[in-house]
Amino acid sequence: MVKGKPESLNNGSDVIDKKLAVSIIFATICRILLNTARRFPYPFAPAISRGLGVHIAAVTSMIAGNQAAGIFGIFLGPVADRIGYRTMMLSGLLMLAAGMLAVGFFPNYWIVMSALVLSGLAKSTFDPAFLAYVGERISFSKRGFVIGLTEFSWAGSTLAGIPLAAFLIDRFGWKAPFFALGILGLAGMITIRLTIPPDVKKTRAFASADYFGAIRNLGKNRSALGMLGFIFFISAANDNLFVVYGVWLEKEFNLSILALGLGTIAIGLAEFLGESLTALFSDRLGLKRSVVAGLVISIICYGVLPFFGKSFPFALGGLFVVFLVFEFTIVSSISLCTEFLPGARATMLSAYLAASGLGRVLGALTGGPVWLLGGLPAIGIVSSLISLLALVSILWSFKQLKGANIE
């Protein structure tokens, strides 16, 4: 259990110097590449299936492999805490570049499958190391602001990365985004080497513990387990809706593909605004209060969403609010999570992302059957109930943190 004053409140600085700001900016741009590689196969699965000459189900299997690979990132967190955060960031970008370029030169089904699995693993390697790097250098009082800004990389992949991928596919064919991401991944490695100082040897007890010891220590930390339960449930609740929202809009309003694209843009804008609100207000409200408030509003939003299904503008507005609140809650929780195990941040964050991935898998599996069982009202009820479990988990986690200076 975390006791006393968090370690990084002594290490992190209230002043963000220019060199640190530059390193965070470039690493955030690298995250846009990783997020784009993770997300662009979804809308362009038909183009990839035609290019490979395989059934669309074969491409969705690749996408599932991409998501599943992220779960294994939990085993890389202790490695990052031991060998250094810059090294792991470079390793993640190398995986991305190698996989994407391999598709460009050798475009066949198994190479594409391997590339998408690698890109999922790359994100799970890079993200915990980067977030741990930020957590180690930014004071807790400014953590929500900085993490909120870095999470623009997620919305950026929707608002910029995917449209650019569409342009490349239209002009140069389905392989073009793979080539572009591979080359940019190599460029990202160069910028990380130039802007982030070399890793120094870790001397803290937790970070220098043996590999399985790090996993065991995480498993014994009740507050950390509560946080993992929270992210598992909130991710499951969101994907329970996410996997069927397109079906809902198409069935209810008889929309074209172009009109459905507006839904994606609305979600991207909601994510951007949610990240902005986190950067602006989460530190002032307090990260714990921000997470709880976001969860309570999410529970309400899922429950009332079916009542917004009478017209397309209202439906789109309802989705916008749901994803805005979800993003605000998630980014606030990431900022909070960077302080749960100050001596092993990457271990904690990799477990957090793995639990999120497991939750998304569960949500994707439940969404279809729940939709068939009762349509959007059933989706709303189930997502609300799952979010309620997330609220119970995070409140239990905070109870275990009693006495720790984390607000």
Over the stretch 391-405, which tens digit does the pLDDT of each residue have? 999 999 988 775 455
Which of 79-83, 187-191, 276-280, 312-316 reaches the highest mean pLDDT?
187-191
Which pLDDT band, with edges at 50, 70 and 90, does 97 fall under? Answer: very high
**Tokens coding 97:** 């570049």
Give 88's contacts (C-beta < 8 A, 6+ positions apart).
76, 79, 80, 125, 126, 128, 129, 346
- In angstroms, the CA 254 to CA 349 distance is 41
210-401 belongs to CATH 1.20.1250.20? yes
Whether the predicted model's global pTM rises above the 0.85 cut: no
Angle, alpha carbons 111-114-120 (nearest 5°): 140
Nearest by Cα to 137 from 9, 256, 254, 39? 9
pLDDT at position 207, please?
A: 43
CATH of domain 14-202: 1.20.1250.20
Which residue(s) pair with 138 in the sheet?
A: 13
Nearest by Cα to 292 from 134, 159, 401? 401
Residue limits of CATH 1.20.1250.20 in the chain: 14-202, 210-401
Report pLDDT digits (tens) over 158-185.
Answer: 888 888 888 888 888 899 999 999 999 9
pLDDT at position 23, please?
A: 93
Which amino acid, residue 27?
A
The end-to-end CA distance of the chain, in Å, is: 16
